[in-house]
Amino acid sequence: MLSILRKSRLKDKELRVLMLGLDNAGKTTIVKCIMKEDTSTVSPTLGFIIKTIDYNGYKLNIWDVGGQKTLRSYWRNYFEKTDALIWVVDATDRFRVSDCAEELKGLLGEEKLLGASLLVFANKTDVPGCMTPDEIREGLQLDDIKSHRWHILPCSAMTGENLVEGMDWVVKDAQQRLFLY
């Protein structure tokens, strides 16, 4: 029943995309790159930023929420009507992979996010010595996730590598799950 209501609500092909991850993962830089904005002046997000983009016939409302530890308890305020969760991981930050996994596991248990698909952007994979997508997949225990459809992609917020492919996956997944047409 919920999926029918969602399809009805989404007849105008509008998607709410929530972008989360630990601080310094590159969430805002990814959003700026997708929006074709200058990425040379990015500072930590101390709240949230909403950007809207028309993408392949869909209106994507991207909610970029700060990832500092002090802000994470407020993340739940942004869960309502989320269609896709983009979880950004800093592929150079080996020391916080377990923190990253713990935060993601908590998110995936939230009732308001149960219908959302999950895209994991392994950001900064253009940096030598970074973790591979397989290392991140293992560190986040992605293969254990049965509650959400998920996909992982290596990317670079600075070069734009795989950002379009990631957004394509989000839209394609939404087409399959949410829309009647």
Residue 54 annotated as part of some ligand binding site: no
Residue 126 annotated as part of some ligand binding site: yes
Residue 125 annotated as part of some ligand binding site: yes
141 is catalytic: no
Catalytic residue among 68, 141, 175, 176: 68
Residue 90 annotated as part of some ligand binding site: no
Residue 84 annotated as part of some ligand binding site: no
Instruction: Encode the chain in three state secondary structure.
Output: CHHHHHHHHCCCCEEEEEEECCCCCCHHHHHHHHCCCCCCCCCCCCCEEEEEEEECCEEEEEEEECCCCCCHHHHHHHCCCCCEEEEEEECCCHHHHHHHHHHHHHHHCCHHHCCCEEEEEEECCCCCCCCCHHHHHHHCCHHHCCCCCEEEEECCCCCCCCHHHHHHHHHHHHHHHHCCC
Residue 129 annotated as part of some ligand binding site: no
Residue numbers belonging to the annotated binding site: 21-28, 45, 67, 123-126
Residue numbers belonging to the annotated binding site for Mg(2+): 28, 45
Residue numbers belonging to the annotated binding site for GTP: 21-28, 67, 123-126
Residues acting as catalytic residues: 68
